[in-house]
A and B are shown apart, each in its own frame.
Chain A
Amino acid sequence: MSTLVVENLRVEIQAGARLLKPVDDVSFVIGANECVALLGESGCGKSMTALALMRLLPDGGRVASGSVRLDDEDVFALTEAAMGEVRGGRLAMIFQEPQSSLNPVMTVSDQINEALVAHRGLTGAAAASEEAVRLLEAVGLGREKLDAYPFQLSGGQRQRALIAMMLAGEPEVLIADEPTTALDVTVQAQILKLLKALQVQRGMGLLLITHDLDVASDMADRVAVMYAGQIVEWASRAALYTAPKHPYTQKLFAVLPRLDRRGERLDSLPGRVPGPDSAFTGCRFADRCPAVFERCRVETPSFHEATPGHWSRCHLAEPCSRDVGSTDAAQRNPGTLESIPRMPPATASGLTKCVLEVRDLAVHFPIRKGLLKRTVGHVKAVDGVSLQVAAGETLALVGESGCGKTTLARAILRLIEPTAGQVSLLGEPLANLRGEALRRKRSEMQIVFQDPFSSLNPRMKVGEILAEGMAAQSFLSVAARPARINDLLNQVGLPEDAVGRYPHEFSGGQRQRIAIARALAVEPKLLILDEPTSALDVSVQAQILNLLADLQKMHGLAYLFITHNLSVVSYLAHRVAVMRGGKIVESGMAETLLTRPQNAYTQLLLDSAPGKKALLPAE
């Protein structure tokens, strides 16, 4: 099979008057039958690199310089017609969003056949459909999915169908751009396993673009770490995961929340990835680097081979320079019950003070059908859930999409009316509260949402956002509120001049801080955190998790932490409840549940988490 060689690739995008350089001098190689992971946080230029390889850059984007060679073929020198042969033929690509990446009005077989016609010249209906079935079976879908439309498939099935389409041209290199980011953890494990198996069977090169260190570790033979449009480290997986050379890579490992870091503060990485329109002198990572020294600010580090096969773009990793000192950041703790650090006890008052008690809560949505729209059945989004959260305690509610965890959160807050069951806050049942009494009670429970972009009104200043809850709850006198707002901003680590600014001036992590401050403004006892870090990069996630831990300690808050991310759960939860199909299937102390799950589904979740290597075929 063939190798893909990328040399000195630069991509420029003209966005209005600004010239963006999302990819700036990127070189790497994908050998035959090799999986290379392109690793980095959002905004590093990973996807742009991939699109440039496919010559699918968005309007306004162009390759400024560099070359891509597939064996001896110079991809950038091809005519557009010849590129059509290569695209989907020798070089194929799958995308992140299985929801939107398939044409919604064409059947799966139509969409596969198109590729077969284009690249294999299969025109006969019988031959084509025979081949389509073979492809579907290769990705683990049955023949009956041939005539299905994308909307009739689940997310994982759609991603499989997309893979089948891209395999139709028998590609030599497959590019997978965050192929599992939008999927649930169990489905992610299946898709990754499928990709690895296909790569091995077909001897393809696989370029896996991901932000997840564990996914890269499971899949890749070699890893390229990208930062601000450049590759900062390039090494075999083994070398990178045992002895990362670049401070950025080291930091990426250090900020991961994990079971063996329970109770510790997470290492954090200040600042954010510089934008693609920044101008640089010296090292691009200098502003955030813990090991920065004066040379970094003036001299751009070269990309050099630190140890054989291990390249790095850091002055410290140059031969005959100071030793970086190998960190044990990447050393993984297998995590047995005995070795897990104990969480500090919830609060001094102990676990006795129950803040939230939910008993047999159910939320059913009616299904209406027929001439008169009669109710013929119910969707049981939440079906008899009971749980308790004490002051100072974190209860993690774990489950995959559609299990009802968000509906449960909204029902607890009475944003939707529960069908049955009872929610008590500080011993007082909410069900009987109406109007003013319910409004008063709302100050005791607040929520922080997942998406830091849609959770803040873009038309309100930060000061107004923070004051809104206080005004609604008549909390403090109007005169006392500005001082309280300043205090809140301090608590969440934002400057005081944020008051007069609008949300769009802040980064995702800062916005999430604003959202937390907003929730805290009315001094709640219970904070429901609905996937508060899943839209954030890992380095920012660490900052927010640290902040949440501090705030819990300071105010004795009870957290109901809703998430699908098991490593976050293992890092911060006191207790865990696993939810599936509207019911809680298992709950218990975090240490026990995560190491000795009783329920088969819990076991499956734990096994599916990337970084286990358990699901992959023996190499």
Chain B
Amino acid sequence: MLNYLLRRVLYAIPILLGVNLLTFALFFMVNTPDDMARIHLGAKHVTAEAIERWKSEHGYDKPLFFNTAAAGAEKVSDTLFVEKSLKLFVFDFGASDDGRDIAREIGQRMWPSLAIALPTFIVGLLAYVSFALLLVFFRGTALDTGGVILCVALMSISGLFYVIGGQYLMGKLWHWFPISGYQPGLDAWKFMVMPVLVSLIGGIGDSSRFYRALFLEEIGKDYVRTARAKGLSDLRVLFRHVLGNAMIPILTGVVVVIPRLFMGSLIIESFFGIPGLGSYTIDAIQAQDFAIVRSMVFLGSLLYIIGLMLTDISYTWADPRVRLE
């Protein structure tokens, strides 16, 4: 197990390095710092001096990979790649283009993100799996057919409409919850309920249909026939045997996203005005703040890799055949 984890950590390094190289190439080589400066300064103020000034203010006035002007080790270390890209590895995210410390922002904003994403995730998983089990239990009946049609219809609606519709109905028309906003502390739940509800409804079609297909596949297997031949009730077969085996594919899709819950959801947070990492990211994209985008890309990849490791570990719990080696 320890060996396995160690190997996975070692394997993560080249992946993160690849991610870094990719973003570096996108943001520094395809798009030069000059382009960035031009965009931030706007068309009016573009002069060669203004660009240079902007670059040196934001630390973009270094060579990409190799600094001929520097001496010794600094030839390599005093470059954009090391300063802007490799430092991410030690969580040195630097400052955003408007001068704020990215690491501090992340530390503050991940909690509201988590406050929305975690309940959505847990309640969602339970709800979707239960709904799918319900459909499977009544497979072949009108309830099943109707449920599947409902799922397909629900998944044919753009997520934006769920948010807009939810805000309009629950916020504006019925005045159940504030339309948007957030405040920490005990009153937070008021602002949490609607985003969570909206995400739940938005996800039900896709997920329930997927889980239903998983369960149906398991039900067709020989061991289910054996269980039924033992005289077990349909319910017991479904919960003990089918669910137990379907956990393995379910975990594949589910565990990997857990670490990413910190990063929140772009759409939900921005629509509901949650000051989380999701809206932070979307603001950065809209403001073309590449420093933040780069940091979030790195953070996202890191969390994904952690998610992959957690997935493997969760297999050992769900599937006795898996031993991490």
Do A and B share a direct contact in the complex (Cβ within 8 angstroms)? yes
**Chain A residues proximal to chain B, CB less than 8 Å:** 54, 56, 59, 81, 84-89, 92-93, 95, 97, 100-107, 114-115, 118-119, 149, 151, 162, 165-166, 168-169, 369-371
A95 to chain B, nearest CB (A): 6
Q: Which of B226, B245, B321 has the most CB of A within 10 A?
A: B226
Q: A100 CA to B7 CA in the complex, in Å?
A: 33
Least CB separation from A107: chain B residue? B320
Least CB separation from B2: chain A residue? A371
A-B contact pairs, 29 of them (CB 8 A): A56-B225, A59-B140, A84-B232, A87-B230, A88-B231, A89-B231, A93-B229, A95-B226, A100-B221, A101-B225, A103-B223, A103-B227, A104-B319, A105-B245, A106-B244, A107-B320, A114-B227, A114-B232, A115-B230, A115-B231, A118-B231, A149-B320, A151-B320, A162-B226, A165-B226, A165-B230, A369-B325, A371-B3, A371-B7
With a cutoff of 8 Å between Cβ atoms, the chain A residues found around residue B248 in the complex are 105
Contact A118 B230 (CB under 8 A): yes
Q: A190 CA to B111 CA in the complex, in Å?
A: 63
Ranked nearest first, the 3 interchain pairs of A and B with the lowest CB-CB distance are A88-B231, A88-B230, A100-B222
Given A115-B230, A118-B231, A371-B6: A102 touches B140 (CB 8 Å cut-off): no
- Write out, one digit per residue, whether chain B residues 200-242 have a CB within 8 A of any chain A CB (1) or not (0): 0000000000000000000001110111111111001000110
Q: Which of A97, A102, A103, A370 has the most CB of B within 10 A?
A: A103
Contact B222 A95 (CB under 8 A): yes
Cβ-neighbour of B226 out of A102, A105, A168, A370 (below 8 A): A102
Q: A101 CA to B230 CA in the complex, in Å?
A: 12
Contact B231 A95 (CB under 8 A): no
- Write out, one digit per residue, whether chain B residues 6-21 have a CB within 8 A of any chain A CB (1) or not (0): 1100000000000000
With a cutoff of 8 Å between Cβ atoms, the chain A residues found around residue B76 in the complex are none
Query: Is B318 an interface residue when CB atoms closer than 8 A count as contact?
Result: yes
B218 to chain A, nearest CB (A): 10
- Write out, one digit per residue, whether chain B residues 25-46 have a CB within 8 A of any chain A CB (1) or not (0): 0000000000000000000000
**Chain B residues proximal to chain A, CB less than 8 Å:** 3, 6-7, 139-140, 221-223, 225-233, 236, 240-241, 244-245, 247-248, 318-321, 325
With a cutoff of 8 Å between Cβ atoms, the chain B residues found around residue A103 in the complex are 223, 226-227, 241, 244-245
Given A104-B223, A105-B319, A149-B320: A84 touches B233 (CB 8 Å cut-off): yes
Q: A356 CA to B3 CA in the complex, in Å?
A: 47
A109 to chain B, nearest CB (A): 13
A350 to chain B, nearest CB (A): 51
Given A100-B221, A101-B223, A369-B325: A87 touches B229 (CB 8 Å cut-off): yes
With a cutoff of 8 Å between Cβ atoms, the chain A residues found around residue B319 in the complex are 104-105
With a cutoff of 8 Å between Cβ atoms, the chain A residues found around residue B318 in the complex are 105
Q: A375 CA to B319 CA in the complex, in Å?
A: 26
Given A59-B140, A114-B240, A149-B321: A92 touches B229 (CB 8 Å cut-off): yes
With a cutoff of 8 Å between Cβ atoms, the chain A residues found around residue B231 in the complex are 84-89, 115, 118-119, 169
With a cutoff of 8 Å between Cβ atoms, the chain B residues found around residue A169 in the complex are 230-231
Contact A95 B225 (CB under 8 A): yes
Q: A165 CA to B7 CA in the complex, in Å?
A: 41
Q: A59 CA to B228 CA in the complex, in Å?
A: 14
Least CB separation from A112: chain B residue? B230
B102 to chain A, nearest CB (A): 35
Q: A345 CA to B259 CA in the complex, in Å?
A: 73
Task: Give 16 A-B pairs besides A84-B233, A169-B231 with Cβ atoms closer than 8 angstroms.
Answer: A84-B231, A87-B228, A87-B229, A87-B230, A87-B231, A88-B231, A100-B222, A101-B225, A104-B319, A105-B244, A105-B320, A106-B241, A114-B236, A119-B231, A149-B321, A151-B320
A101 to chain B, nearest CB (A): 5
Q: A607 CA to B26 CA in the complex, in Å?
A: 72
Least CB separation from B3: chain A residue? A371
With a cutoff of 8 Å between Cβ atoms, the chain A residues found around residue B244 in the complex are 103, 105-106
Cβ-neighbour of B245 out of A104, A114, A371 (below 8 A): A104
Least CB separation from B216: chain A residue? A59
Given A100-B223, A103-B223: A56 touches B229 (CB 8 Å cut-off): yes
Q: A103 CA to B246 CA in the complex, in Å?
A: 12
With a cutoff of 8 Å between Cβ atoms, the chain A residues found around residue B230 in the complex are 87-88, 92, 114-115, 118, 165-166, 168-169
Contact B321 A151 (CB under 8 A): yes
Q: A213 CA to B325 CA in the complex, in Å?
A: 47
Contact A97 B222 (CB under 8 A): yes
With a cutoff of 8 Å between Cβ atoms, the chain B residues found around residue A86 in the complex are 231
Q: Which of A114, A165, A370 has the most CB of B within 10 A?
A: A114
Contact A370 B3 (CB under 8 A): yes
Q: A528 CA to B197 CA in the complex, in Å?
A: 64
Contact A102 B223 (CB under 8 A): yes
Q: A149 CA to B318 CA in the complex, in Å?
A: 13
With a cutoff of 8 Å between Cβ atoms, the chain A residues found around residue B223 in the complex are 100-104
Q: Which of B139, B232, B318, B325 has the most CB of A within 10 A?
A: B232
